[in-house]
Amino acid sequence: MTTANTPDIVIAGAGIGGLTTALALHARGIDSIVLEVAADIRPLGVGINIQPAAIAELTGLGLGEALAATGIATREHRYLDHSGTMLWAEPRGIAAGHRHPQYSIHRGELQTLLLTAVRDRLGSGAVRTGIRVRDFAHIGGGVRVHAADEVAGAEVAYDAEVLIGADGLHSAVRSRLHPDQTPLRAAGVSMWRGLTELDGFLDGRTMILANDELATRLIAYPISARHAARGKALLNWVCLVAAPGQERSADSGRNRPGRLDEVLPHFAHWDFGWLDVPRVLAGGGRILHYQMVDRDPLESWGDGRVTLLGDAAHPMYPIGANGASQAILDAAVLAAELAHGDDVTAALGRYEEARRPATTAITLANRRMDGAERAIVGRSDEDKTSALSSITESYQRTVEQARPATRA
C-alpha cells in the first residue's frame, strides 16, 4: 500500500455535489482532490432541475453562461389531469420573482460541465478516477483515507485534513460513520425515466405534472438549449406508478434498465390532444427504472474531520426536484465554513448545524408532498386545484426557510 500526502481536502465522489464542493473550496483558496470509483466519467442519466438558490451559487462560481448554453430556464409548472386539462399553474424561476432561473438540464451534461471546470481550475489530476474509497481513520492532525485503485489493482491511502463523503446513495463513508444506519426506505412508487426528441413542447420552457384517478403520474419538461436552438425539444419524462408492497423492501439498485412494456400499459389511455403520451414514451429509446427511495434523516452526519454531503447525507425523494440543488447548497456552506480559518472540526460542526436541519425539513416535506399528490385522487377539479395550490405553497415555504445564508 502506498500513502500520499494530498491537498487539504479529500472528496469521495465526483457527482454534482462532490465536484461543486471542489470548485467552491478552490474559489476560497482551499485545495482538494476528488476520488471517483468510475474509471471513466461519462455524461449518464436523464434530466434534473436545479433550483434558483443553487443556480445563484453556481453562477457565483462563474458557471452562469455555461448553464444558460446547456439547460432550459423553466418558466412555469402546469398541473394537469390525464386528459390534458389544466388544473393549476405556478410561475418558476425568474418568472416567480427569483434573481436566478430554475434550470432543467441533463444530469450528465451538468456533471461534465462541473468536471471540466474542476480540471481547468484545479489541474488535470484533481479528479482521480478508478479509486474506490473504502474506509478512513483519524490520525494526528488529520484523517487517512483508505482506498482501492481499481485500475492498478493496488491499495492506496491519502492523508488529508478533512474527508468529505459525497459518494452518493450507497456511500461508503456514510456506512463507516453510521454502521447501524437506517436502510433505504421505499415510497411504494415505481419510476420510469427517459428522453424523447420532439418537434416542440408547449412554449419550450414549461414543465407539466399530470395525475390520473389511480394516482399514476407523469412529469415532463424540456432540458436542452442546444435542441431548442434547432427548433426541437429534448423532453425528459418521468412516469410514477403506485407499487404496493415495495414500502418495506427498497431495491438496493437505484437504476436499472427499464422496458417499455412495463410502463406503457399504465399510460395507454393518456392523450392530451397536443401530446400523445404513449407515443412519447415509445420514442424514448433507453429507459431507466427504479424505486422512489430515501432514508430516514440522521441525527448527526460526521465525526471529527469527516462529514457527509449530498445524497450521502440526505437522500430524498425526487418529488420537489431538490436533491441536486441541496447538494450544491451543501457545498457552498461547507466551503464557507472551512474558509473561516478556525478549527476544522468546529467548521464542520457549523456546516452540519446549518445544513442538517434544513435538509431534514426538505426530505420530510418531499414525503408529505408525495402523499398529498397521491391523495387528490377522486376529488373534483376545483378541489384538486385548491389542494395543489396549498401543497406547492407549503413546500415552497419549507424550501425558502431552509435556504442557507453562506458566510462571506
Beta-bridged to residue 106, according to DSSP, are 47
CB 242 within 8 A of CB 232: no
Which residues touch 161 (CB under 8 Å, ≥6 apart)?
8, 9, 141, 142, 143, 305, 344
CB 93 within 8 A of CB 100: yes
CB 388 within 8 A of CB 376: yes
Burial class (CB in 10 A: 0-12, 13-18, 19+), 386: middle
Question: Does residue 4 or residue 130 have the better pLDDT?
Answer: 130
All three cell numbers of 107, joined, read 444530469
Question: Does residue 1 or residue 204 have the better pLDDT?
Answer: 204
**Residue 257 CB coordination number (10 Å):** 8
Give pLDDT, residue 124.
Answer: 93
CB 292 within 8 A of CB 222: no
- In this structure, of 72-86, 247-261, 297-311, the range with the lowest mean pLDDT score is 247-261
pLDDT greater than 70 at residue 309: yes
The alpha-helical segments, DSSP class H, found in 216-276 are 225-229, 260-263
Map grid coordinates 424523447 to a residue.
196
Q: What is the tens place of the pLDDT at every residue in 220-271? A: 999 999 999 999 999 999 999 998 766 554 554 455 889 999 999 999 999 8
Burial class (CB in 10 A: 0-12, 13-18, 19+), 331: buried
Give pLDDT, residue 252.
Answer: 43
The average confidence (pLDDT) of the chain is 92
| Average pLDDT of span 176-200 | 93
Phi and psi angles of residue 272, each rounded to the nearest 5 degrees, phi first: -85, -5
Torsion from C-alpha of 358, 361, 366, 372, nearest 10 degrees = -150
All three cell numbers of 98, joined, read 427569483
Q: What is the tens place of the pLDDT at every residue in 27-58? A: 999 999 999 999 999 888 999 999 999 999 99
| Average pLDDT of span 378-383 | 76
CB 177 within 8 A of CB 164: no
Percent of the chain at pLDDT > 90 equals 78
Q: How confident is the model at residue 406 (pLDDT cuts 50, 70, 90)?
A: low
Q: Is the dihedral of CA 185, 189, 192, 193 positive or negative?
A: negative
Give pLDDT, residue 198.
Answer: 97
Percent of the chain at pLDDT > 70 equals 95
Distances (CA, A) of 265 to 163, 241, 277: 47, 11, 11
> What is the pairing mode between strands 9-12 and 32-36?
parallel
**Residue 256 CB coordination number (10 Å):** 11
Give pLDDT, residue 35.
Answer: 98
Question: Does residue 179 or residue 390 have the better pLDDT?
Answer: 179
Map grid coordinates 430554475 to a residue.
102
CB 208 within 8 A of CB 161: no
SS3 305: coil
Q: Is the dihedral of CA 102, 20, 295, 253 positive or negative?
A: positive
Type of residue found at 365: A
pLDDT greater than 90 at residue 119: yes
